[in-house]
């Protein structure tokens, strides 16, 4: 079976302008496949490139070189993320790739229920709101908060909205960047169940998780990332 995500010889560095334009390497020649039903857990210390890799696969952080090929059901043909125009990335984010990060994207004055509904552009209004409400209920977000702008919620409740938005739709590919950040133990357990359900339906999941319980219970295999900045620090 073909992988849903195929990464080959990926290189990414950041320019340190205050250090004479030094190129700080983050990812150096990374290759990785993620297939249907897998949850590949990224291991490595802070600064080893876990978030950078997830953002690169999402199309937010273009690498200097290498290939990120997405080939999931419904695409028709595989898409090279590093070459995809903004319109194609928009379509992928709508239909194929769901992502949760530790920070909910800025959504000024948009209420929590509507943020979750954004992941369901093809559903009618009633169905969309019902699905979003069911997901928020599952995550125990009080109904009184559903029509409150998400950016004004406490961090734990705001993260529940981000999780709901990602899991309300059956995305073939899920990118999880410390989704358990700021959540309580109950939400962590619910998130673990959601990840297992996504694996069971065949989603390909690439994740960075800190919580020991989630790491043990959801990972099918691990990908270690080396801290490339150590070489720079030693100079």
Residues 152, 176 within the same domain:
no
* One domain for residues 6 and 91: yes
**pLDDT surpasses 70 at 103:** no
pLDDT in tens, 4-34: 999 999 999 887 777 667 778 899 999 999 9
76 and 177 inside one domain: yes
| 105-127 per-position pLDDT tens digit | 655 568 999 999 999 988 999 99
Q: How far apart are CA 150 and CA 154, in angstroms?
A: 9
**Whether 114 and 73 share a structural domain:** no
Encoding tokens for residue 161?
Answer: 């909205």
pLDDT in the model for residue 105 = 61
182-187 mean pLDDT: 93
25 and 76 part of one domain: yes
Q: 109 and 92 in one domain?
A: no
The DSSP annotation for 47-83 comes to TSSHHHHHHHHHTSS--SEEEEEE--TT-SS-EEGGG
Predicted TM-score (pTM) of this structure = 0.92
- Can you tell me the mean pLDDT for 223-228? 83
Q: Is the confidence at residue 211, as pLDDT, over 50?
A: yes
Q: Is the pLDDT of residue 43 over 70?
A: yes
For 150-167, the pLDDT digits (tens) are 888 888 999 999 999 999
How many distinct structural domains can be found in the chain? 2
pLDDT at 234: 46
pLDDT band (50, 70, 90) for residue 2: confident
Q: Which domain holds residue 164?
A: 102-170
Identify the pLDDT of residue 16.
Answer: 76
Look at residue 225 and tell me if it is in a domain.
Answer: yes
Same domain? 89 vs 132: no
Mean pLDDT of 58-70: 95
pLDDT over 80 (residue 145) = yes
The answer to whether position 194 is within a domain reads no
Which of 151, 170, 189 is at the close of a domain?
170
């Amino acid at each position: 079976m073909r992988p849903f995500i195929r990464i080959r010889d990926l290189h990414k560095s950041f320019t340190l302008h205050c250090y004479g334009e030094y190129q700080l390497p983050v990812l150096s020649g990374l290759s990785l496949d993620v297939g249907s039903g897998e949850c590949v857990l990224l291991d490595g210390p802070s600064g080893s490139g876990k978030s950078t890799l997830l953002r690169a696969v999402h199309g937010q952080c273009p690498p200097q070189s290498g290939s990120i090929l997405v080939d999931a059901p419904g695409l028709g043909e595989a898409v090279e993320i590093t070459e995809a125009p903004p319109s194609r990335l928009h379509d992928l984010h709508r239909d194929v790739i769901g992502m949760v990060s530790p920070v909910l994207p800025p959504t000024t004055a948009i209420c929590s229920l509507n943020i979750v509904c954004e992941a369901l552009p093809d559903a009618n209004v009633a169905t969309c709101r019902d699905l979003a409400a069911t997901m928020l209920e599952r995550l125990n977000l009080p109904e009184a908060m559903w029509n409150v702008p998400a950016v004004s919620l406490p961090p734990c409740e705001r993260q529940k909205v981000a999780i709901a938005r990602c899991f309300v739709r059956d995305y073939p590919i899920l990118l999880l960047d410390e989704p358990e950040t700021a959540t309580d133990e109950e939400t962590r357990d619910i998130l673990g169940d959601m990840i297992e359900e996504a694996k069971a339906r065949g989603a390909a999941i690439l994740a960075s998780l800190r919580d020991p319980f989630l790491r043990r219970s959801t990972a099918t295999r691990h990908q270690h990332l080396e801290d490339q900045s150590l070489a720079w620090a030693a100079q």
